[in-house]
Amino acid sequence: MKKSLLALAALSAIAGAAQAQSSVTLYGIVDAAVRISDNEGAGKDTVTRMVGGGLSQSRWGMTINEDLGGGLRAVANMEQRFTSDDGALANVAQWSQVWVGLQSSTLGRVTLGRQYSVIFDVVTSTYPSFKFSPYIETFKHETVFMGNGGTNAGAAATNYYARFPNSVKYTLATGGLLLAAQVSAGEGSPDVAKSMGLAGRYTFGAFALGGGYIQTEALNGTKADNYNIGGSFTSGPFYANVAYYKNEWDTGYPVTQIPTLLLGTGLTVALPTIAGQTKERELTTAGVTFNITPALLIGGQYWYIEQSNTAGVNTGKIDSFAFLVDYAFSKRTDAYAVVDYVKLKGGMIVNGTQAAVGGPADDRTSFMVGVRHRF
């Protein structure tokens, strides 16, 4: 009897130790806001709507981490996104992220599946537009410059942009240096591009510098090159960032794989992506964030976007900025107010309609207030 009890106690101890070496963490964000925008539609109306993600897209996910011994860990992630205003899934076609991999304390990490591009990783960790949120969900420009991994928003539901399916990513961090590489397979799908990319980051004192490159290849053999470089400075309550992005497309690159720009909920601006003509798109951005108190933060960001085409016509430019105030009730819950402005110049397409005198307005001002909870 004593031997049986001792054996049972030993097995329980082993099982407890094994459980202690593995963890599954549930995480998420629930964000909702009320947004008021002017100059909507041909009537140039003022529209009030609730958005299911003002600063951040609402989401939930699980991270898995298992200690395999000898400095080796198994890691995995599953994440889905939704809109908190109506409870709908953000993309019913697939999970936002699903990947699994191995991580070594000395050799780096390898992950496989649908995951963020190396450019996205470097941008959000090194020079995001806002320190407490990489970008404003309802007013984001940067993400469509981070890889062009799939079809645009007007063509299909499968949008990749900053995430790539069928991808393998390697990351190595040592001291202040981070290096990353990725490859992804097209696997014959008409709306999934092959890709290869490299990125790096270096931090020293209050400064951080980084950049990356991704090349995507469509089924017809044409290619898109995506570049990015930027830096940031952080000193006490002060944070500043500056970055430059550029996309270049071969003649004949599928229009359906050139992403549109989301410039505020209800305002999708497609700088004309004309078959055989779209050549390049550039984004320059800079901004500052300042903590007035540990709980109260203010920030501002400016974006300038320009696109050119091989025909020399239907080019376009965008000037835009956003100013925000955020108050943290706790480490998990904050409330925010945002004012943003967009000015279109040149041959823009606004919600599918060519911008012209007497047509849709070429500028828009929006005001938004919301609450965000992170767990």
Cα–Cα distance measured from residue 270 to residue 60, given in angstroms and rounded to the nearest whole number: 30
The beta strand positions in 189-277, using DSSP E, are: 194-204, 207-217, 223-235, 238-249, 261-262, 268-270
- Asked if residue 305 lies in contact with residue 342, where contact means CB atoms within 8 angstroms, the answer is no
Per-residue pLDDT tens for 80-106? 999 898 888 877 667 889 999 999 999
The answer, yes or no, to whether residue 357 has pLDDT greater than 80, is no
Domain locations in the chain as residue ranges? 33-57+118-374
Q: Residue 344 is encoded by which pair of tokens?
A: 């279109």
- Give residue-wise pLDDT tens across range 235-263: 999 999 999 999 998 888 877 777 766 56
Among left, alpha and beta (phi > 0; psi -120 to 50; other), residue 106 is alpha
Indicate the SS3 state at residue 121.
Answer: helix
Task: Give me the mean pLDDT over the 114-135 stretch.
Answer: 90
Q: Position of tokens 């110049």? A: 345
Contact 264, 290 (CB under 8 A): no
Residue 117 CB partners (closer than 8 Å, separation 6+): 146, 147, 149, 162, 163, 164, 182, 195, 197, 212, 214
Fold classification of 33-57+118-374 is Porin (2.40.160)
Distance of alpha carbon 256 from alpha carbon 157, whole angstroms = 11
For residue 355, what pLDDT band results from cuts at 50, 70 and 90?
A: very low
Residue 207 has phi, psi (to 5 degrees) of -105, 150
Report yes or no: 161 and 153 within 8 Å, Cβ to Cβ.
no
Most confident of 11-15, 34-38, 177-181: 177-181
187: confidence class by pLDDT, cuts 50, 70, 90? confident
Q: How many C-beta atoms surround the C-beta of residue 259 within 10 A? A: 27
Place 356 in a pLDDT band, splitting at 50, 70 and 90: very low
Per cent of the chain over pLDDT 70 is: 77
Q: Which residue has the higher pLDDT, 148 or 79?
A: 79
- The share of the chain scoring above pLDDT 90, in percent, equals 50
